[in-house]
Amino acid sequence: MKDDSKTRKSTLSAHLKSAVMTLKLRPGDDLDEAQLSEAFGLSRTPLREVFRHLAGQGYLELRENRGARVSEMSYTTLRDFFLVAPMIYGAVLRLAAQNARVDQIARLEAAQEAFRATLRDGTAEDRALANNHFHEITGEMAANVYLLPSFQRLLIDHARIGMTFYRPGPTGMGESLEKASVQHDAIIAAIQARDEGAAGQLAADHWALSRDQIEMFVTPAGLDLPLGSFKRA
């Protein structure tokens, strides 16, 4: 019975992570404890354990006497995101080139194959999640206890505000996605070669590729896109 509860908690956790990153649950949305409890067969105590765990990772916010909600996004958090993202991505990939294990490289290659598959016949959500998984593995490779929590938090908001990058729309989007895939291949090669300099440069190039698309969220023309609650901090 204990193992069954653990499985249901893991299933709920994975569901909420995916829903947050793909904007099925939008920034600031309240979570319906009763509905989730019934849907996943969990009582209040294990349900709230999942909420606390996800709050610690940055997916949710817990409010006293008001329940859990999806973590907000504000002008301040977007500013902070754009300020630190290139630095953190660069540090992660340089450390990944230093520390990656053979088994992790194999997992990264598999993640890249999955990402390529989403470019052929996946949805925008599939692409965002596959890309996120690829970068999660590079974070594990970096193996830095101080850097990893910041990187994981960054990936959540990168997935959320980057959803426009994976949706059909502007001319040339397919070309940009294909270029992202090519850069993933180059990242793998740099990590395999233990080439920290190349890995750092690829981090900058990869960030530059998605930056312009992500910036659609902070321009007036992009305000009707599904960012959700967008408030000043």
pLDDT tens sequence across 60-76: 999 987 889 999 988 88
The answer to whether 130 touches 111, Cβ cutoff 8 Å, is yes
pLDDT in tens, 78-109: 889 889 999 999 999 999 999 999 999 999 99
pLDDT number for residue 213? 65
Residue 223 has pLDDT above 80, yes or no: no
This prediction has a pTM of 0.85
Termini Cα distance of the chain: 43
The domains located in the chain, with CATH, are: 2-71 (1.10.10.10), 74-226 (1.20.120.530)
Mean pLDDT of the chain: 88
Which tokens sit at 43? 């009582």
**Cα distance between residue 223 and residue 214, in whole Å:** 12
Of 20-24, 122-126, 210-214, 224-228, the one with minimum mean pLDDT is: 224-228
d(CA 38, CA 34): 6
